[in-house]
């Protein structure tokens, strides 16, 4: 996980994504899932997708990751229809 975070912080998003994805899938790690959500939300190393960001935030939040819950709530609020 440390290596993936270091790659992310250095702007090596494609490599970081691969590591986070592997950790998120194999270890069901909520922190890796949180990072995947952030990357999709901002289009860092992946095509920007708010739906995929929400997906990863929800997975992390279900494991009690409060940062993911906050980001999910903020994203839901900002994309809600205000018709």
pLDDT tens across 15-59, in order?
A: 999 999 999 999 999 999 999 999 999 999 999 999 999 999 999
Q: What does the alpha-carbon distance between residue 9 and residue 23 come to, in Å, rounded to a whole number? A: 17
Q: Answer yes or no: are the C-beta atoms of 20 and 36 closer than 8 Å.
A: yes
Q: Which domain holds residue 48?
A: 2-79
Q: Is the pLDDT of residue 82 over 80?
A: no
pTM above threshold 0.85: yes
Question: The tokens of 80 are what?
Answer: 């809600």
The residues, any chain, with a CB within 8 Å of residue 12's CB and separated by 6 or more, are none
Residues 6+ apart with CB under 8 A from 41: 48, 50, 53, 71, 75
Kindly report the CATH number assigned to the domain that includes residue 51.
Answer: 1.25.40.10
User: How many domains are there within the chain?
Assistant: 1
pLDDT confidence of residue 83: 59
């Amino acid at each position: 996980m440390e290596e993936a975070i270091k790659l992310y912080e250095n702007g090596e998003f494609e490599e970081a994504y691969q590591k986070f994805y592997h950790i998120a899938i194999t270890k069901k790690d909520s922190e890796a899932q949180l990072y995947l959500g952030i990357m999709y939300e901002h289009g860092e190393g992946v095509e920007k997708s708010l739906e995929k960001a929400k997906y990863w935030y929800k997975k992390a939040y279900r494991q009690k990751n409060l940062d993911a819950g906050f980001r999910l709530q903020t994203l839901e609020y900002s994309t809600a229809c205000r018709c």
